[in-house]
């Protein structure tokens, strides 16, 4: 298991007329969480696309909106990988507000697509698996 | 059970550099689907907020991304209510592309909040339940 | 001169906590306006990218926000081309609300980029100029 | 004159299928720039709305897109106030990429609206003018 925290402030652009973070904009928080988790282990999603020619479209997502998130709050995005990726990788995401309350939980499942063939890869890229394995064993 | 279809074209703003509809932008399609379903039965979400002082934040969402959605496709948003709303209302959403393929399914669960007290309502607004009951009985 | 009207309803996703259409979301209205203008003359922006291998990034934009735009309003996007495109094409955009009031004006200037070389084209694609010339002469 | 730099990374959500930052998403960068400038002088936009009951809608915007901005780049948002706000406040915004190149310039003009009367204020809030005056005189 590996967990990484990253902070992001809620912008006006992301609020709606309820005065809340719009429910569709949470997906960007999950994206930021997983991209920064990948960066934190010494890899990069950009590199994955540009060098390994692999992209990661989302296959499914489950979200529970527990409490509203408000304008200008600094939200902690806690992203966790619990199992080594195989055909899919699951990112578990928790959003925590400035008061330390858990406000949102999500599970986002992504697959790997070979950008040359545009077919789903049978397995996650080897360097990603390897890196995570090292971290899991620590 | 009541179902309503509404069409929306994919805009450049909504695509990402994969060339797909960005996974976070699907939520807007579901929003459009449920708002237009409500309009189709002679009510309006705007009226719900302005006259009844009730708003409908999203409580949870489950999404399955089956196939990519591309720029400029005209997507059919098929929204279905299967049961009468009680404390929650569930909207089932299917997105169908121009070729007639089902590309995405989602279930979005919303609650009702009294805008005066900002507390969750124990039940959906009576006119909404009544209207849906009439339609269900037809 | 050629003008085309297209309607779009304001969605919750596009509002902000002021209860207005967020100022950054107007750009999508201009995009819709110009894409539908192009479709109205029998061409398509998608085709431009896929067949002609030309894309149209925005070079500059000037916007005047005259009155707020509110949730659920059906906005008329009036897009006008006044001169034949050369190296640049200028789209003039007027947004008109349901009460018939002019609420926003913008001028968006785009150039043409050859997707093979990724260099700016010295001139707009010939079929676009030709089509507009025919319409201007009517 | 007062200038403030703030960094923001380009997210997948913000790109389009050209592989660029979508032209409509720059507005969020300008918003972040001015909000963080205000925070840097010891005030806050949130406080302005909540305590002073003043909000700042955008009156006009001029943007020059000089070079594309790409996914995952860390962009420096340089925001400058050149004159003391009166009825309007002008924020000058420069976006600089990781290579140090100026990629975008914008001028965003905002007014002040009294949230009780929903009328335009004849003058910027006194604490804002005062604070800027102090800084300008240093």
Chains within contact range of chain C (3+ C-beta pairs < 8 Å): A, B, D
Question: pLDDT at position C138, please?
Answer: 85
**Is the distance from CB of B42 to CB of B118 less than 8 angstroms?**
no
Arithmetic mean of pLDDT, D57-81: 98
**Is the distance from CB of B79 to CB of B34 less than 8 angstroms?**
yes
List, for residues C31-65, the tens digit of each pLDDT value: 999 999 999 999 999 999 999 999 999 999 999 99
Question: pLDDT at position A116, please?
Answer: 95
List, for residues C56-105, the tens digit of each pLDDT value: 999 999 999 999 999 999 999 999 999 999 999 999 999 999 999 999 99
pLDDT at position D61 over 90: yes
d(CA D63, CA B82): 48
Cβ contact, residue pair D28, A45, below 8 Å: no
Residue listed under structure tokens 């997105």: B95
**Is the distance from CB of A56 to CB of A107 less than 8 angstroms?**
no
Decide: residue D5, CB within 10 A, 0-12 exposed, 13-18 middle, 19+ buried.
middle
Beta bridge partners of A64: A105, B60
A18, A65, A68: residue with CB nearest B60: A65
Cβ contact, residue pair C13, A16, below 8 Å: yes
d(CA A136, CA A2): 7
Arithmetic mean of pLDDT, C9-28: 96
Cβ contact, residue pair D17, B13, below 8 Å: no
Which parts of chain A register pLDDT below 70?
none
pLDDT at position B138 over 90: no
CATH superfamily of D2-130: Hotdog Thioesterase (3.10.129.10)
Q: Are strands D113-114 and D119-120 parallel, antiparallel or unpaired?
A: antiparallel
C114 Cα to chain D: minimum distance (Å): 12
Cβ contact, residue pair B28, C13, below 8 Å: yes
Cβ contact, residue pair D61, C61, below 8 Å: yes
Q: What percent of chain B has pLDDT over 70?
A: 100
Q: Which residue of B has its CA nearest to C73?
A: B46
Q: List Cα–Cα distances, A25 to B11, D13, D31, in angstroms.
A: 17, 9, 17
User: What ipTM was assigned to the predicted interfaces of this complex?
Assistant: 0.95
| Partners of residue A28 in chain D, C-beta under 8 Å | 11, 13
Q: Where are the domains of chain A?
A: 2-137
Phi, psi of D97 (to 5 degrees): -85, 180
CATH number of B2-137: 3.10.129.10
Task: Provide the pLDDT confidence category of residue B46 given band limits of 50, 70 and 90.
Answer: very high
d(CA C107, CA C30): 9
Q: Which residues contact B48 (CB under 8 A, 6 or more apart)?
A: B38, B54, B55, B56, B125, B128
**Is the distance from CB of B57 to CB of A20 less than 8 angstroms?**
yes
List, for residues C105-128, the tens digit of each pLDDT value: 999 999 999 999 999 999 999 999
Question: pLDDT at position A73, please?
Answer: 97
């Amino acid at each position: 298991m590996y967990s990484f925290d990253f902070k992001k402030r809620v912008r006006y652009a992301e609020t709606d007329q309820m005065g809340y973070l719009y429910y569709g904009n949470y997906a960007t928080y999950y994206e930021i969480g997983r991209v920064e988790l990948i960066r934190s282990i010494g890899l990069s999603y950009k590199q994955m696309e540009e060098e390994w020619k692999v992209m990661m479209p989302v296959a499914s997502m489950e979200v529970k909106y527990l409490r509203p998130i408000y304008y200008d709050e600094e939200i902690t995005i806690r992203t966790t990988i619990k199992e080594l990726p195989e055909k899919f990788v699951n990112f578990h995401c928790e959003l925590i507000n400035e008061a330390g309350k858990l406000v949102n939980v999500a599970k986002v499942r992504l697959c790997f697509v070979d950008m040359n063939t545009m077919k789903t890869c049978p397995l996650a890229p080897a360097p990603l698996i390897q890196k995570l394995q090292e971290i899991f064993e620590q």
